[in-house]
Copies of this chain bind each other. A is one copy, B any other.
Amino acid sequence: MTDLRARNRQATREAITAAALRLAVEQGPSGLALVRVNDIASAAGVSPRTYNNYFSSREEAICGGQADQSRRAGDALRARPAGEPLDVAITEAMVGLFTDPEPDRAGLRMIMLTPELEGEALRAFTVGESSLAEAIAERTGESGLRPEVTAAAVVAAIRVAGRHWLTPAANRPFADDIRRALSCVFSPDQTSR
């Protein structure tokens, strides 16, 4: 097992992000400003100063969980069997990563649909790009632009899928939206060329 210190650190980090996201959801997108640093810190059981050792803005704390998840994208792809074609490997890896467990609608809605969080939310998804790009490069043996572009396109597609999944009235599983979005990436429209 890893360091006790490392585990504690991870635990506090998660406590803070969880508290931050929970409080933000409680206040709703309009009342984001009412979520004070003090509240987050005390809800997480740490001092405000410690909160600030982990995150340098409320936004970052709120989106921290999403960022952690995205960062695992590379490992998720590496966990797929080697023989699998690239497109299905990526698709299944992303479906597994982002729907296990099925995300909390309220939380994702807060992160993705609150204007003040837009920048941090994009960052949270985008931090996964580099790790995913590396994993793609390893798998395909390619280097240079293509793995990076593929990774960026995949992440972008998942973002769009998330937006659609949050659309009211739609009650599909998130996996469906991810699959549909990624299929747009892997087989672009040929008819309208």
Contact = CB atoms under 8 A, between A and B. Distances in A.
A103 interface: no
A92 interface: no
Contacts of A142: 189, 192
A49 interface: no
Interface in A153-190: 153, 155-157, 159-161, 163-164, 177, 180-181, 184-189
Given A145-B181, A184-B145, A189 B152 contact: no
The oligomer's copy count stands at: 2
Q: Chain A binding site: helix, strand, loop or mixed by DSSP?
A: helix
Contacts of A119: 59, 119-120, 122-123
Contact of A184 (B126, B150, B164, B189): B150
A85 interface: yes
A14 interface: no
Contact of A123 (B118, B140, B148): B118
Interface in A27-65: 59
A87 interface: yes
Contacts of A149: 156-157, 160, 181, 184-185
A9 interface: no
A153 B141 CA distance: 22
Nearest to A118: B123
A87 B192 CA distance: 9
Contact of A140 (B146, B155, B189): B189
Given A142-B189, A149-B160, A152-B159, 17 more contacts: A86-B189, A87-B193, A119-B120, A119-B122, A122-B122, A140-B192, A145-B184, A148-B163, A148-B164, A149-B181, A150-B188, A152-B153, A152-B156, A152-B157, A155-B156, A156-B156, A185-B188
10 contacts: A119-B120, A140-B189, A145-B160, A149-B160, A149-B181, A149-B184, A152-B153, A152-B160, A153-B153, A153-B157
